[in-house]
Amino acid sequence: MEDSLFSIAINGIFVQNFLLVQFLGLCSFVGVSKETKSAAGMSAAVLFVMIMASIASFLIYTYLLLPMGLTFLTTISFIIVIAFLVQLVEFIIRKYSPPLYRSLGIFLPLITTNCAILGVVILNARLDYGFVQSVFYGITAGLGYTMVMLLMAAIREKSNALKVPEAVEGLPHAFFITTLLSMAFVSYFQVIPT
């Protein structure tokens, strides 16, 4: 409850990194991280939806679900909020940046089913975070996601030139890179006392 903003930030970006430590949002991670450009677009969309969803879900949870004793509707109301926000982002991107819209392709509507976003709002509700903490957690989790996404895209672009056995090409290769990245992130456990 009394987590300071600093510890939330360190947690969100490094120690509890959504992709590498909590395994949230992996579908989009392996799907879109082939090029830096689409990775950046996807991360921006996720970051935006994550922040908006944190705000909206906090308001709904605190002022609607809790006082009325409707907490069993938590999951369903959160997912509806997220679906609505994703639709909004889709309209905006389609209007202002058609090339980005084309390169994000199928993954844009799939942000709705991106576990990272539903994960943030459910964690906010479970950890009893206040308004500022919720939004801050949304921002830092989104930043952590963006950072790993860009790192991964950069590594994958460079490693395209590598010659690997036929069976390892593609996904297994991506997973091996992720293993190394994840090992680096897990060692943050020891750096920061909880």
Partner 1 sequence: MADMTIAGEFFRGIVKDNPVFALVLGLCPTLAVTTSVENAIGMSGAALFVLLGSNTIVSALRKQIPPITRIPMFIIIICTFVTIIDMVMEAYTPPLYEALGIFIPLIVVNCIIIGRAEAYANRNTVKFSIVDAFGIGAGFFVVLVAIGAIRELLGTGEIVLFDLKLISIPITPATFMILPGGAFMTIGVLMAMVNYNKIRKAKKGA
Residues near partner 1, by CB under 8 A: 20-27, 30, 72-76, 79-80, 83, 109-110, 112-115, 118-119, 122-123, 126, 165-176, 178-180, 182-183, 185-186
Q: Which of 161/180 has CB closer to partner 1?
A: 180
Q: Shortest approach of partner 1 to residue 114 CB, angstroms?
A: 7
Q: Which of 20/52 has CB closer to partner 1?
A: 20
Query: Cβ–Cβ contacts within 10 Å for residue 169, how many?
Result: 12
Task: Give dist(CA 79, CA 113) in Å, integer.
Answer: 8
Q: Shortest approach of partner 1 to residue 179 CB, angstroms?
A: 4
Task: Classify residue 42 by burial, with Cβ atoms within 10 Å: 0-12, 13-18, 19+.
Answer: buried
Contact yes or no for 136/5 (Cβ under 8 A): yes
Contact yes or no for 148/33 (Cβ under 8 A): no
Q: Shortest approach of partner 1 to residue 118 CB, angstroms?
A: 5
Q: Shortest approach of partner 1 to residue 166 CB, angstroms?
A: 6
Contact yes or no for 115/24 (Cβ under 8 A): yes
Residue by residue, what is the 3-state secondary structure of 92-111?
HHHHHCHHHHHHHHHHCHHH
Q: Which of 97/127 has CB closer to partner 1?
A: 127
Task: Please choose, from the candidates 117, 136, 120, 190, the residue with its C-alpha nearest in 3D space to the C-alpha of residue 3.
Answer: 136
Q: Which of 6/128 has CB closer to partner 1?
A: 128
Q: Which of 37/173 has CB closer to partner 1?
A: 173
Q: Shortest approach of partner 1 to residue 24 CB, angstroms?
A: 6
DSSP 33-67: TTSHHHHHHHHHHHHHHHHHHHHHHHHHIIIIITT
Q: Which of 16/97 has CB closer to partner 1?
A: 16
Q: Shortest approach of partner 1 to residue 177 CB, angstroms?
A: 9
